[in-house]
Homo-oligomer: A and B are copies of this chain.
Amino acid sequence: MAIQSMMKKMKPRIIALLTDFGGKDYFVASLKAVILSINPRVEIVDISHEVEAYNRLEAAFLLKAVAPYFPQGTIFLAVVDPGVGSDRKIILVKGKKHFFTGPDNGLLIPAAEEEGLIEVRELRAEKYFLPSWSRTFEGRDKMAPAVAWLSRGVPFESFGPIAASFEKLVFPEPSFLPLEIRAEVIHSDRFGNLITSIPVQPFLDWFKKKKESALILSSRKRRWPLQYVPAFAYGLSHQPLILPGSSGFMEIGWKEASAASHLRIRPGDKITIKMVKSKKRLNKNVGK
Protein backbone atom coordinates (compact mmCIF):
# COMPACT_ATOMS: atom_id res chain seq x y z
CA MET A 1 0.00 0.00 0.00
CA ALA A 2 2.76 2.41 0.94
CA ILE A 3 4.52 1.70 -2.30
CA GLN A 4 1.39 2.08 -4.38
CA SER A 5 0.66 5.41 -2.78
CA MET A 6 4.25 6.47 -3.36
CA MET A 7 4.00 5.45 -7.00
CA LYS A 8 0.91 7.56 -7.32
CA LYS A 9 2.61 10.58 -5.83
CA MET A 10 5.53 10.16 -8.19
CA LYS A 11 3.25 9.96 -11.20
CA PRO A 12 4.75 12.58 -13.44
CA ARG A 13 2.52 15.43 -14.40
CA ILE A 14 3.31 17.41 -17.52
CA ILE A 15 3.78 21.13 -17.98
CA ALA A 16 3.87 22.04 -21.68
CA LEU A 17 5.37 25.37 -22.75
CA LEU A 18 4.43 27.51 -25.76
CA THR A 19 6.01 30.94 -26.18
CA ASP A 20 7.44 33.47 -28.60
CA PHE A 21 10.69 33.59 -26.57
CA GLY A 22 12.95 32.06 -29.24
CA GLY A 23 15.87 29.76 -28.56
CA LYS A 24 18.79 32.16 -28.22
CA ASP A 25 17.98 33.70 -24.84
CA TYR A 26 17.72 32.68 -21.21
CA PHE A 27 13.94 33.13 -21.23
CA VAL A 28 12.75 29.55 -21.72
CA ALA A 29 15.36 28.12 -19.35
CA SER A 30 14.24 30.61 -16.71
CA LEU A 31 10.72 29.20 -16.84
CA LYS A 32 12.09 25.68 -16.51
CA ALA A 33 14.45 26.58 -13.68
CA VAL A 34 11.63 28.17 -11.69
CA ILE A 35 9.28 25.24 -12.33
CA LEU A 36 11.86 22.60 -11.37
CA SER A 37 12.82 24.53 -8.23
CA ILE A 38 9.22 24.18 -7.05
CA ASN A 39 8.40 20.75 -8.49
CA PRO A 40 11.48 18.69 -9.38
CA ARG A 41 9.34 15.75 -10.48
CA VAL A 42 7.27 17.44 -13.15
CA GLU A 43 7.89 16.64 -16.81
CA ILE A 44 8.39 19.75 -18.96
CA VAL A 45 7.61 19.49 -22.67
CA ASP A 46 8.34 22.25 -25.19
CA ILE A 47 5.62 22.82 -27.74
CA SER A 48 7.41 25.65 -29.52
CA HIS A 49 9.23 28.83 -28.65
CA GLU A 50 9.40 30.01 -32.24
CA VAL A 51 5.95 31.58 -32.40
CA GLU A 52 6.35 34.81 -34.37
CA ALA A 53 6.95 37.60 -31.83
CA TYR A 54 3.64 38.90 -30.40
CA ASN A 55 1.54 36.68 -32.75
CA ARG A 56 -1.32 35.48 -30.52
CA LEU A 57 -3.28 33.97 -33.41
CA GLU A 58 -0.43 31.68 -34.41
CA ALA A 59 0.07 30.60 -30.80
CA ALA A 60 -3.65 29.91 -30.41
CA PHE A 61 -3.61 27.79 -33.56
CA LEU A 62 -0.62 25.73 -32.39
CA LEU A 63 -2.09 25.21 -28.93
CA LYS A 64 -5.43 24.10 -30.34
CA ALA A 65 -3.71 21.71 -32.77
CA VAL A 66 -1.55 19.94 -30.20
CA ALA A 67 -3.45 20.09 -26.90
CA PRO A 68 -5.82 17.16 -27.62
CA TYR A 69 -2.84 14.78 -27.86
CA PHE A 70 -1.50 15.55 -24.38
CA PRO A 71 -2.45 13.38 -21.40
CA GLN A 72 -5.32 14.27 -19.08
CA GLY A 73 -4.17 16.79 -16.49
CA THR A 74 -1.43 18.39 -18.57
CA ILE A 75 -0.88 22.05 -17.68
CA PHE A 76 -0.20 24.36 -20.61
CA LEU A 77 1.75 27.55 -20.01
CA ALA A 78 1.44 29.74 -23.11
CA VAL A 79 3.16 33.11 -23.11
CA VAL A 80 2.81 35.47 -26.05
CA ASP A 81 2.40 38.63 -24.13
CA PRO A 82 2.84 42.08 -25.67
CA GLY A 83 0.95 43.51 -22.68
CA VAL A 84 3.45 42.23 -20.09
CA GLY A 85 3.74 44.52 -17.09
CA SER A 86 0.45 46.32 -17.80
CA ASP A 87 -2.76 45.69 -15.90
CA ARG A 88 -3.91 43.02 -18.34
CA LYS A 89 -4.87 39.99 -16.30
CA ILE A 90 -3.08 36.66 -16.09
CA ILE A 91 -5.59 33.82 -16.22
CA LEU A 92 -5.84 30.14 -15.38
CA VAL A 93 -8.35 28.14 -17.40
CA LYS A 94 -9.74 24.77 -16.41
CA GLY A 95 -10.88 22.71 -19.38
CA LYS A 96 -12.46 19.27 -19.38
CA LYS A 97 -9.09 17.59 -19.89
CA HIS A 98 -6.32 20.12 -19.25
CA PHE A 99 -5.30 23.34 -17.51
CA PHE A 100 -4.17 26.44 -19.40
CA THR A 101 -2.28 29.45 -18.04
CA GLY A 102 -1.17 32.63 -19.75
CA PRO A 103 -1.94 36.28 -20.34
CA ASP A 104 -5.57 37.26 -20.80
CA ASN A 105 -5.35 38.05 -24.49
CA GLY A 106 -7.40 35.22 -25.95
CA LEU A 107 -4.63 32.82 -26.93
CA LEU A 108 -5.72 30.08 -24.51
CA ILE A 109 -9.41 30.14 -25.34
CA PRO A 110 -9.75 28.25 -28.66
CA ALA A 111 -7.89 25.22 -27.25
CA ALA A 112 -9.89 25.30 -24.02
CA GLU A 113 -13.21 25.70 -25.81
CA GLU A 114 -12.35 22.80 -28.12
CA GLU A 115 -12.28 20.40 -25.18
CA GLY A 116 -14.89 22.27 -23.12
CA LEU A 117 -14.10 25.31 -21.00
CA ILE A 118 -15.14 24.88 -17.36
CA GLU A 119 -13.82 27.89 -15.48
CA VAL A 120 -11.52 30.90 -15.85
CA ARG A 121 -9.72 32.40 -12.87
CA GLU A 122 -7.46 35.40 -12.45
CA LEU A 123 -3.96 34.70 -11.16
CA ARG A 124 -3.83 36.96 -8.13
CA ALA A 125 -2.49 34.97 -5.16
CA GLU A 126 0.89 36.63 -4.68
CA LYS A 127 2.08 33.90 -2.34
CA TYR A 128 2.56 31.74 -5.43
CA PHE A 129 4.75 34.32 -7.20
CA LEU A 130 8.52 34.51 -6.91
CA PRO A 131 9.41 36.61 -3.84
CA SER A 132 10.75 39.48 -5.93
CA TRP A 133 9.13 39.79 -9.30
CA SER A 134 9.85 42.08 -12.20
CA ARG A 135 7.32 43.74 -14.49
CA THR A 136 9.14 42.70 -17.64
CA PHE A 137 9.10 38.94 -17.18
CA GLU A 138 5.86 37.87 -15.55
CA GLY A 139 6.18 34.50 -17.30
CA ARG A 140 9.12 33.68 -15.07
CA ASP A 141 8.08 35.56 -11.97
CA LYS A 142 4.34 34.84 -11.74
CA MET A 143 3.12 32.28 -14.28
CA ALA A 144 5.91 29.68 -14.02
CA PRO A 145 5.67 29.41 -10.22
CA ALA A 146 1.87 29.26 -10.44
CA VAL A 147 1.85 26.31 -12.85
CA ALA A 148 4.55 24.58 -10.81
CA TRP A 149 2.44 24.86 -7.64
CA LEU A 150 -0.62 23.72 -9.60
CA SER A 151 1.34 20.67 -10.77
CA ARG A 152 2.20 19.93 -7.15
CA GLY A 153 -1.46 19.75 -6.25
CA VAL A 154 -2.37 23.26 -5.07
CA PRO A 155 -6.09 23.50 -5.91
CA PHE A 156 -7.06 25.47 -9.00
CA GLU A 157 -9.34 27.64 -6.86
CA SER A 158 -6.43 28.87 -4.72
CA PHE A 159 -4.81 31.03 -7.37
CA GLY A 160 -7.40 33.78 -7.52
CA PRO A 161 -11.05 34.71 -8.06
CA ILE A 162 -13.21 33.67 -10.98
CA ALA A 163 -12.57 36.10 -13.83
CA ALA A 164 -15.50 38.44 -14.32
CA SER A 165 -14.65 38.52 -18.00
CA PHE A 166 -11.85 37.42 -20.29
CA GLU A 167 -10.60 38.15 -23.78
CA LYS A 168 -11.69 35.96 -26.67
CA LEU A 169 -9.84 35.23 -29.84
CA VAL A 170 -11.75 33.93 -32.80
CA PHE A 171 -10.23 32.13 -35.75
CA PRO A 172 -11.41 33.58 -39.05
CA GLU A 173 -14.49 31.66 -40.20
CA PRO A 174 -14.64 30.51 -43.81
CA SER A 175 -17.74 31.18 -45.95
CA PHE A 176 -19.10 28.18 -47.82
CA LEU A 177 -21.06 28.95 -51.00
CA PRO A 178 -22.24 26.19 -53.34
CA LEU A 179 -19.34 26.69 -55.75
CA GLU A 180 -16.91 28.72 -53.68
CA ILE A 181 -15.18 28.89 -50.32
CA ARG A 182 -13.76 32.17 -49.00
CA ALA A 183 -11.19 31.66 -46.31
CA GLU A 184 -7.90 32.82 -44.85
CA VAL A 185 -4.43 31.40 -44.33
CA ILE A 186 -3.76 31.09 -40.59
CA HIS A 187 -0.29 29.51 -40.50
CA SER A 188 2.62 28.62 -42.74
CA ASP A 189 4.47 25.59 -41.45
CA ARG A 190 8.13 24.60 -41.64
CA PHE A 191 7.66 23.01 -45.05
CA GLY A 192 5.81 26.02 -46.46
CA ASN A 193 2.44 24.29 -46.25
CA LEU A 194 -0.32 26.87 -45.85
CA ILE A 195 -2.83 25.96 -43.17
CA THR A 196 -6.19 27.48 -44.10
CA SER A 197 -9.13 28.39 -41.88
CA ILE A 198 -11.21 25.65 -43.59
CA PRO A 199 -11.97 22.70 -41.27
CA VAL A 200 -11.48 19.31 -42.88
CA GLN A 201 -14.94 17.76 -42.52
CA PRO A 202 -17.00 20.67 -43.90
CA PHE A 203 -14.60 20.86 -46.84
CA LEU A 204 -14.97 17.16 -47.61
CA ASP A 205 -18.77 17.44 -47.37
CA TRP A 206 -18.71 20.41 -49.76
CA PHE A 207 -16.31 18.71 -52.15
CA LYS A 208 -17.60 15.13 -52.24
CA LYS A 209 -20.81 16.08 -54.03
CA LYS A 210 -18.91 17.08 -57.12
CA LYS A 211 -15.78 15.02 -57.19
CA GLU A 212 -15.47 15.32 -60.95
CA SER A 213 -15.20 19.07 -60.73
CA ALA A 214 -11.93 20.92 -60.78
CA LEU A 215 -10.75 23.47 -58.24
CA ILE A 216 -9.20 26.88 -58.72
CA LEU A 217 -7.31 28.68 -55.99
CA SER A 218 -7.13 32.44 -56.10
CA SER A 219 -5.46 34.97 -53.86
CA ARG A 220 -4.33 38.54 -54.38
CA LYS A 221 -5.66 38.62 -57.95
CA ARG A 222 -3.66 35.57 -59.02
CA ARG A 223 -5.00 32.07 -59.58
CA TRP A 224 -3.87 28.49 -59.96
CA PRO A 225 -5.42 25.07 -60.67
CA LEU A 226 -5.68 23.23 -57.35
CA GLN A 227 -5.59 19.46 -57.00
CA TYR A 228 -7.34 17.70 -54.13
CA VAL A 229 -5.32 14.75 -52.80
CA PRO A 230 -5.63 12.60 -49.67
CA ALA A 231 -1.84 12.81 -49.09
CA PHE A 232 1.16 14.50 -50.68
CA ALA A 233 2.41 11.30 -52.25
CA TYR A 234 -0.62 11.27 -54.58
CA GLY A 235 -0.15 14.81 -55.84
CA LEU A 236 1.18 16.14 -59.11
CA SER A 237 4.40 18.09 -58.99
CA HIS A 238 4.57 21.73 -60.04
CA GLN A 239 1.12 22.81 -58.87
CA PRO A 240 -0.62 23.52 -55.58
CA LEU A 241 -2.35 20.67 -53.77
CA ILE A 242 -5.11 20.84 -51.18
CA LEU A 243 -5.26 18.08 -48.61
CA PRO A 244 -6.65 17.29 -45.15
CA GLY A 245 -4.08 18.58 -42.67
CA SER A 246 -3.07 16.92 -39.44
CA SER A 247 -4.31 19.92 -37.44
CA GLY A 248 -7.92 19.47 -38.54
CA PHE A 249 -7.76 22.18 -41.20
CA MET A 250 -7.30 21.90 -44.97
CA GLU A 251 -3.76 22.68 -46.06
CA ILE A 252 -2.44 24.00 -49.34
CA GLY A 253 0.86 22.31 -50.11
CA TRP A 254 3.34 21.55 -52.85
CA LYS A 255 5.01 18.21 -53.44
CA GLU A 256 8.43 18.21 -51.71
CA ALA A 257 8.55 22.00 -51.92
CA SER A 258 7.18 25.12 -50.28
CA ALA A 259 3.70 26.25 -51.32
CA ALA A 260 4.30 29.50 -49.44
CA SER A 261 7.30 30.29 -51.67
CA HIS A 262 5.76 29.12 -54.93
CA LEU A 263 2.47 30.95 -54.39
CA ARG A 264 3.83 33.88 -52.38
CA ILE A 265 0.90 33.56 -49.98
CA ARG A 266 1.36 34.33 -46.29
CA PRO A 267 -0.55 33.96 -43.03
CA GLY A 268 -3.34 36.53 -42.97
CA ASP A 269 -3.89 36.44 -46.75
CA LYS A 270 -7.42 35.84 -48.03
CA ILE A 271 -7.94 32.94 -50.40
CA THR A 272 -10.83 31.75 -52.54
CA ILE A 273 -11.36 28.19 -53.73
CA LYS A 274 -13.73 27.89 -56.69
CA MET A 275 -15.28 24.82 -58.18
CA VAL A 276 -15.55 24.65 -61.96
CA LYS A 277 -17.62 22.07 -63.82
CA SER A 278 -15.13 20.27 -66.02
CA LYS A 279 -11.41 19.95 -66.19
CA LYS A 280 -11.53 21.23 -69.76
CA ARG A 281 -13.18 24.40 -68.56
CA LEU A 282 -10.56 24.75 -65.84
CA ASN A 283 -7.67 24.64 -68.22
CA LYS A 284 -9.34 27.16 -70.51
CA ASN A 285 -9.93 29.54 -67.61
CA VAL A 286 -6.49 29.28 -66.28
CA GLY A 287 -5.03 29.69 -69.72
CA LYS A 288 -6.59 33.10 -70.16
A residues lining the B interface (CB < 8 Å):
2-3, 6-7, 11-12, 14, 16, 20-30, 32-34, 36-37, 40-41, 43-51, 53-54, 62, 65-66, 69-71, 74, 82-86, 88, 134-137, 140-141, 189-191, 230-234, 243-247, 251, 256
Q: Are B23 and A23 in contact (CB under 8 A)?
A: yes
Q: Are A27 and B190 in contact (CB under 8 A)?
A: yes
Q: Which of B28, B36, B46, B74 contacts A43, CB < 8 Å?
A: B36
How far in angstroms is the closest Cβ of chain B from A103? Answer: 11
Instruction: Enumerate the 6 nearest inter-chain pairs by beta-carbon distance, A residue then B residue, closest first.
Output: A85-B231, A86-B233, A22-B190, A137-B246, A33-B69, A24-B50
Q: Are A25 and B189 in contact (CB under 8 A)?
A: yes
Q: Are A45 and B36 in contact (CB under 8 A)?
A: yes
Q: Are B85 and A134 in contact (CB under 8 A)?
A: no
A191 to B36: give the CA distance in the assembly, Å.
Answer: 26
Q: Which residues of B have CB within 8 Å of A7?
A: 6
A45 to B32: give the CA distance in the assembly, Å.
Answer: 8
Q: Are B23 and A45 in contact (CB under 8 A)?
A: no
Besides the known contacts A36-B71, A69-B140, A135-B231, 10 further A-B residue pairs in the complex with CB atoms under 8 A apart: A3-B6, A16-B29, A23-B50, A30-B69, A30-B246, A33-B69, A44-B45, A54-B256, A86-B234, A135-B244
